[in-house]
Amino acid sequence: MTTAAPAIGAPAQHGGVSRTLWYRQLDTYPDTGPRFLFLGIVVVTTILLYYELYVGGAVSPAILSHFGMSFRYYVNITVVANAVGAFSSLLAGLGDRWGRANMVTYGLLLTGLLVLFGVPHAPNELTFGVLIAAVGFVEGIILVATPALVRDFSPQLGRASAMGFWTLGPVVGSLCVSEVSSHTLPHLHAWQDQFMICGIAGLVIFAIALFGLRELSPGLRDQLMVSMRDRALIEAKAKGIDIEASIRRPWRQMLHMDIVGSAFAIAVFLIVYYTAVGFFTIYFTSIFGFSLAQANGIGNWFWAFDAGALVVIGLLSDKVRVRKPFMLVGAVAAVAMTIVFLSRTSDPHTSYYTFVWIISVMSVCLGIAYAPWMAGFTETVEKRNPALTATGLAVWGWVIRAVVAISIFILPYVVTSTTPLVDYAPQVVAIVNAYPQQVKTLGEIDSKTLAALLANPNNASAGLKAASEVQAARHLPSVLSAVGYLEAIKQVPAKDLAYLSAHAGAVGLAEKQAPSQWRHWWWVCVAGEIVFIPLILVMVGRWSPSRARRDIEEYEAKVDAELARLRSATAT
């Protein structure tokens, strides 16, 4: 005879401080008000975590300058952070055995402390990289635990709406980064201030989660709940569930094409999104000459429209009770808009508001696909085993972070121009702005002649040749009339002349190559969006709203019959 396993850490057995700080499980399914409160805390938590994860992108040029860090080194930090996050995501699968709420709550404490006190006070680039990787490790765990909590507290008929709000996490987190930085950078110039603001917010949300976040006991969360009508049935069944049997061999149960294939599909679909998160500021400042505040301002529009689409489409998907049609429409539209976006790389004079409307529409398309996908993925996991929701989401967390790490690692090899533009262009531009006429003169001298002159300023033959080249370039009446221009070059400090000699050529070449290279990368993003489309087919769910409604009606009839049977058995 199967006996009920005791609820692990059930709060009924504990009281006082221990119940508040550690034992968070609910033995009955919460009413609508408390349930929305728990969901709200999870959503706010997720927003904060992505804010912490993305805040460095808003001030990446300043970070590079502060540490004298190369662009490639910075990219590798991001790669490592995503890689460790991928493997720590697998640890979140333990949430099926240990629960999710404490992972989230105490993870918030760790990340808040790291972002507030650790990262801003990093003494060198190595320490900075280690601390960012540590943040990525912790967040890899809790960013799998949070959608598991959303699934637990949201029946399938409200799942897309709930997941639409949960997916506000990365979007509104990115919006927070852009909004806070665009309004504070003109006043708080130090990049460390952005991390400190973020860390303070993290500790505030930790305090809220510490006292307000709860989770379902294993007997409740390990069941499939289609609608709130199932509440009485799952509470009755919870008394007889063998918890250990239901979570035995978790990875063998989850590693199937419908789960792994779906996770890979959304990972490659979102390459464009993660590129935007990490490199929009660099892209817009280096290619189109926007200021850092302007680049973050463009990001504000992207995240705001994406956030609105996620919520609206989530509600609409629940209303018509299907997911796949939204995924298909969103993916096809995203392909079209990404192509429109990449076409602007050939026009460096594209205006701020032209980009605003392009990326706003593109972000809406991404949202149309993503919120229903998130709901459909959790339903696909539930089809395998609802008791292993965290394990299924751990597979998703590993795959998406692995794909992000790989794509970010590859990006500098596709967009090779980014390295000289990020590493050298700011200093080259500063020198040019300080000595515009002298730099113009330097540009009129042959590179070999200039090298000889810089190596030995007293080289008469190199000086004469340089003067003749300046005379020819400026159409001067004689070589002697060019001598004054050469003398003016001496006003430029030797170290600046050496810097220009070493890097100006690479920067000039990179400026010519950058548009076509970025265009190649955006085509990679388009390819990822196309790969997503056929993999929609491996997920569970109907295409037809009428068929989906019939499925719900049949399921509800079974629930009513099962409840009647249980009542009859109890009565006898």
Across the chain, which has 572 residues, the per-10-residue mean pLDDT values are 38 52 73 83 87 82 83 85 84 69 87 92 92 89 81 69 74 78 76 90 91 76 54 51 59 85 93 84 81 78 84 86 92 95 87 90 92 87 78 86 87 83 80 84 80 77 83 81 78 82 81 87 94 93 83 69 65 59
The pLDDT, as a whole number, for residue 4 is 40
Q: With b meaning 16 or more CB within 10 Å and e meaning fewer, what string describes 196-225?
A: bbbbebbbebbebbbeebbbbbbbbbbbeb
| Structural domain span for residue 347 | 30-217+255-426+512-564
Note whether residue 197 is domain-resident.
yes
The pLDDT, as a whole number, for residue 7 is 39
Bridge partners of residue 215, in order along the sequence? 25
Collapse the DSSP code of 216 into the 3-class scheme (helix H, G, I; strand E, B; otherwise coil) and give the result. Answer: strand
C-alpha to C-alpha distance for 162 and 314, rounded to whole angstroms: 7
Residue 136 has phi, psi (to 5 degrees) of -60, -35
The pLDDT, as a whole number, for residue 2 is 38
The pLDDT, as a whole number, for residue 171 is 73
Note whether residue 281 is domain-resident.
yes
The count of domains in the chain is 1
Q: What is the CATH number of the domain that holds 518?
A: 1.20.1250.20
Note whether residue 534 is domain-resident.
yes
Query: HSE of 246 in the Cβ direction (CA atoms, 13 Å)?
Result: 25
Collapse the DSSP code of 457 into the 3-class scheme (helix H, G, I; strand E, B; otherwise coil) and give the result. Answer: coil
Note whether residue 91 is domain-resident.
yes
Note whether residue 236 is domain-resident.
no
The pLDDT, as a whole number, for residue 493 is 84
Note whether residue 507 is domain-resident.
no
Query: HSE of 421 in the Cβ direction (CA atoms, 13 Å)?
Result: 25
Note whether residue 505 is domain-resident.
no
Tokens 């057995």 appear where?
Answer: 13
Note whether residue 309 is domain-resident.
yes
